[in-house]
Every structure is written in structure tokens, then in C-alpha cells.
Structure 1
């Protein structure tokens, strides 16, 4: 299994469609066996789903993303967990342990200004409207 995380200097990048890098983790027997950082090039929004599918990614952990990117990932058979912030390695480990906190109804309306919709930051504790992956 491969897990991709939107990546910026060790942390989860907060806007899926604008990410310049993903950190892709290869997981076997529920343990990370390797990871690599890959540049997205000029891929953006919906094109990122194809970029990830070509690398056999099945899970995405990210900050927020728009409906178009969500639809593209769903069509590519890639499951995503959004509204996540903090250290990428820690978030992947939490996912593998069944305790990743995420927002089930992520959105990012960057055309109307961020207005707080791009990056509800939390550090691994579930509260409010967040859910934990089990």
C-alpha cells in the first residue's frame, strides 16, 4: 500500500491543489518500509489524481481540497483524509494505528478567499467536528 501526504518542509501542506510535493510512504504489514519525496511538477488540482494513481497511491492525507480534486481522487479509487495538519511522519503513523484525526467534510474555496476554510490546524487530537480513522 502507498500513502501520499501533501508535503511542505516536513509538514502537511494545507491546499491539495497547490502542493509542490508529496511524501509517498510504502507500507507493508502496517509498517512504513520506505518513503520518498516527489515533486508534482506542473500538475494541479484534478491532474494530481492521475499523478498519484500512476504511482500506485491508494490513500491521501492532506489539508484541504476543492470538490473537483475530491471527485478526481474518488474516480481514481484513491481514499483521502483531509483537514489534517502537523508532521507528515506522525500523521502517517497515526493513520496506521487507526487514530488519525481528520475532517470528513473538507472544502477549500480559494476563489472566494481563504476565510479560514483552508487549514483548520490541529495537532493530532480529535475534538469538535473531527473524526478519527479506525
Structure 2
């Protein structure tokens, strides 16, 4: 299994569509076997789901994410854990332990083409542009 986290300076990056890096964790028997940071090389919004699919990612941990990106991830078969903030390594450990706090409605809605929603308790992570 591969788990990706939006990544910046060890933390969960809070805007999926502007993610410059993902940290991808190889997991076996609920244990992280290896991890590496992948640069998106300027891929944005719609291309990021394809980028993760090419990397054989099974699940994504992120902060805010728009409705269009959520649909693209679902179509790619990638399970989404949104509305997460803090240390990326810790978030993966919590996911594996079954204790990760996430929001299925952590949408950033500041793009006209994306659907509105809520950033859960992380409204500040979208620059105040998310609707709660």
C-alpha cells in the first residue's frame, strides 16, 4: 500500500491544488517501510490526481481540497483523508493506527469551477476563503 501526503517542510500542505511535493510512504503490514518526497514539477489541480495514480498511490492525506479534485481522486481509486493539518509523518502514523482525525467535507471553494463546502476546523488553512 502507498499513502501520499501533501507536503511542505515536514507538514501537511494545506491546498491540494498548489501542492509542490508529496511525501509517499510505502506501507506493509501497517508499518511504514520507506518514504520519499516526490516533486510535482508544476503539475496543478487536475493533473495531480493523475500524478498520484502514476505513483501507484492508494490513499491521500491532505488539508483543503476542492470538489473537482475530490472527484478526480475518486475516479483514480485513491482514498481521501482531507482536512488534516500538522506533521505529515505523524498523520500517517495516526492513519495506520486508526486514530487520524479527518473531514470528508474539507473543501476549498475559492475556485469558481469547484463546489463549496467546509474546511472543517481548518478554515484558516485556506486563507479564509473556505465556507464553513
TM-score (norm 2): 0.84
> 2:120, 2:28 → 1: CA distance?
32
Partner of 2:122: 120
Q: 1:36-60, CA deviations, whole angstroms, 9 ceiling, x for partnerless residues?
A: 0010012111111110011110000
Partner of 1:41: 41
Q: Is the CA contact (8 Å cut-off) linking 2:83 and 2:119 kept in structure 1?
A: no
Partner of 1:130: none
Closer, same or farther: CA 118–104 of 1 in aligned 2, 3 Å? closer
Number of positions where the alignment pairs a residue of Structure 1 with one of Structure 2:
118
Q: 1:48-77, CA deviations, whole angstroms, 9 ceiling, x for partnerless residues?
A: 111001111000000011111001000000
> 1:7, 1:13 → 2: CA distance?
5
Partner of 2:126: none
- Structure 2, gaps ≥5 residues long: 113-117, 124-132
Q: Is the CA contact (8 Å cut-off) linking 1:82 and 1:106 kept in structure 2?
A: yes
The root-mean-square deviation of aligned C-alpha atoms, in Å, is: 1.8
SS, match of residue 110 in structure 1: coil
> 2:82, 2:53 → 1: CA distance?
18
Q: Post-superposition shift, 1:118?
A: 8.9
Partner of 2:8: 8
Q: How does 1:1-134 map to 2 (within 5 A)?
A: 1-111=1-111, 117=119, 120=122
Give runs of ≥4 in structure 1 deviating > 3 Å.
116-119
